[in-house]
């Protein structure tokens, strides 16, 4: 029997139970979102890499534009979903920073955690179509910035390191919230794993 080739991208397990983010994100949404949507991005990224390998073998790059686009879309989808899961936690474990380097940087770049939440929330609510809002470390200016991301890969600032992301694709909230994206975004503040955001900041800003 032929061995399965090693996959470049692998679907990570959720770091908590499917119902751990209730009532803010419901179990049915989490099951579909992780097991079907995120899994499809992992499969899509691996498929794009396999097809690119085939193209090199055949010396035929006729589909290079489509394949490069598929790789960017699916691999970015995988990276962002992996960050999304680990940036959230059950409500009783979610605690806003009260001291430390991350809080100092937020105060410098946004004024306060509250203003950061307002800007990030506004960005998330206003994404056109499917996409994300992102808090990122921008290493050139050495600043925290808030970005919108369309689909999974458009509107990026190259080199910026994502620290926390909010998924505002309809698949992230439609079962529970229907068209009320703003209610979903407002509720996400109850389940942010700030400790994880601080750790990512400490690591990104050191480089
Ligand atoms: Fe998603």
Strands in 161-167's sheet, in edge-to-edge order, are 143-150, 131-138, 161-167
Indicate where the chain has its CATH 3.55.40.20 domain(s).
Answer: 91-206
pLDDT in tens, 111-153: 999 999 999 999 999 999 999 999 999 999 999 999 999 999 9
| pLDDT interval class at 207 (50, 70, 90) | confident
User: How many angstroms is it from 86 CA to the middle of ligand 1?
Assistant: 13
What whole-number distance in Å separates Cα of residue 84 and Cα of residue 155? 18
User: How many angstroms is it from 79 CA to the middle of ligand 1?
Assistant: 11
| pLDDT interval class at 2 (50, 70, 90) | low
User: How many angstroms is it from 62 CA to the middle of ligand 1?
Assistant: 31
User: How many angstroms is it from 206 CA to the middle of ligand 1?
Assistant: 29
Residue 183 belongs to what H/E stretch? helix 181-188
Do residues 56 and 17 touch, judged by C-beta distance below 8 A?
no
Stated pTM of the model: 0.96
User: How many angstroms is it from 12 CA to the middle of ligand 1?
Assistant: 14
Structural fold of domain 27-86:
Helix Hairpins (1.10.287)
Indicate where the chain has its CATH 1.10.287.990 domain(s).
Answer: 27-86
Please tell me the CATH superfamily of domain 91-206, with its number.
Iron/manganese superoxide dismutase, C-terminal domain (3.55.40.20)
161-167/143-150 β-pairing: unpaired
3-state DSSP assignment of residue 163:
strand
Residue 21 tokens read as: 């983010």
Q: What is the mean pLDDT of residues 2-24?
A: 89
């Amino acid at each position: 029997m032929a061995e399965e080739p090693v996959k470049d991208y692998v679907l990570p397990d959720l770091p908590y139970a499917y119902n751990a983010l209730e009532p803010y994100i419901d179990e049915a949404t989490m099951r579909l979102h992780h097991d079907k949507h995120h899994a499809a991005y992992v499969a899509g990224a691996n498929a794009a890499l396999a097809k690119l390998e085939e193209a090199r073998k055949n010396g035929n790059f006729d589909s290079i534009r489509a394949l490069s686009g598929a790789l960017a879309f699916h691999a970015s989808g995988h990276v962002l979903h992996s960050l999304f899961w680990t940036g959230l936690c059950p409500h009783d474990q979610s605690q806003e920073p009260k001291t430390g380097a991350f809080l100092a940087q937020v105060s410098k770049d946004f004024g306060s955690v509250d203003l950061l939440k307002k800007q990030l929330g506004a960005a998330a609510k206003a994404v056109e179509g499917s996409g994300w809002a992102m808090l990122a470390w921008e290493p050139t200016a050495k600043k925290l910035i808030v970005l919108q991301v369309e689909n999974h890969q458009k509107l990026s600032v190259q080199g910026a390191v994502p620290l926390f992301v909010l998924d505002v694709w309809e698949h992230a909230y439609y079962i529970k919230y229907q068209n009320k994206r703003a209610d979903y975004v407002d509720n996400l503040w109850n389940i942010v794993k700030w400790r994880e955001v601080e750790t990512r900041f400490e690591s990104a800003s050191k480089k």
